[in-house]
């Protein structure tokens, strides 16, 4: 009898906990606002470096040879060789020819390019290894050095005159 009574008591407690859990869930659904997937917090997904060039194929060859990455090239849909993108690790380069059809209008970029805004900053997890990989293939503007207490950088110039500065934040590693 005692075993039956204690089992009956445990079942009653378990049933009570189950009912409380169901009520709590129902109350939470009614009284707490859930964040809808349509209204989620904004998030930056990726950045794209836009390079305008006279010679698309030459620029693609330069970047694939410099960074040893030739398997992530996507050409324009039309096959008209006016633009292509190349992904190197987590960085996407969009390479656009400065001439071409009306499909890609680069006239709005000309002011930006002519104003001297030809500099890009790219974070890397190990700039010393990156420097060793590319130093013989590029024009070096500055060698790896600390520019702040925990921030190292070096800069190169690509074949189109763009300055790429690679940064490594040693504090947040």
Q: Is the pTM of this model over 0.75?
A: no
Q: What pLDDT shows up at residue 173?
A: 58
Residue 88 has pLDDT above 60, yes or no: yes
Q: Does residue 31 surpass a pLDDT of 80? A: no
Predicted confidence at residue 68, as pLDDT, reads 87
Q: Supply the pLDDT for residue 36.
A: 52
Q: Give the pLDDT of residue 108.
A: 60
Domains of the chain, earliest start first: 44-116 (2.60.40), 118-173 (3.30.720.110)
Could you give the percent of the chain with pLDDT greater than 70? 62
Confidence check: pLDDT of 39 > 70 = no
* C-beta pairs of 153-159 under 8 Å, 24+ apart in sequence: 153/127, 154/127, 158/51, 158/59, 158/62, 158/63, 158/66, 159/58, 159/59, 159/62
* Range 20-25 average pLDDT: 63
Q: Which H or E run contains 47?
A: none
pLDDT tens digits for range 98-133: 765 545 555 666 555 555 678 999 999 999 999 999
């Amino acid at each position: 009898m005692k075993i039956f009574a204690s089992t009956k008591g445990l079942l009653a407690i378990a049933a009570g906990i189950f009912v409380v859990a169901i009520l709590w869930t129902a109350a939470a659904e009614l009284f707490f606002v859930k964040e809808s997937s349509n209204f989620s917090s904004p998030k930056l997904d990726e950045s794209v470096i836009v390079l305008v060039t006279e010679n698309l194929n030459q620029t693609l060859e330069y970047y694939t040879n410099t960074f040893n990455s030739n398997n992530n090239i996507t050409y324009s849909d039309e096959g008209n060789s006016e633009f292509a993108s190349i992904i190197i690790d987590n960085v996407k380069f969009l390479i656009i020819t400065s001439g071409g059809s009306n499909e890609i209008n680069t006239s709005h970029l000309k002011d930006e390019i002519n104003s001297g805004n030809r500099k890009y900053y790219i974070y890397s997890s190990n700039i010393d290894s990156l420097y060793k990989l590319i130093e013989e293939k590029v024009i070096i503007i500055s060698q790896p050095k600390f520019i702040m207490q925990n921030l190292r950088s070096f800069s190169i110039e690509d074949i189109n005159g763009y300055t790429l500065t690679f940064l490594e934040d040693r504090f947040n590693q």
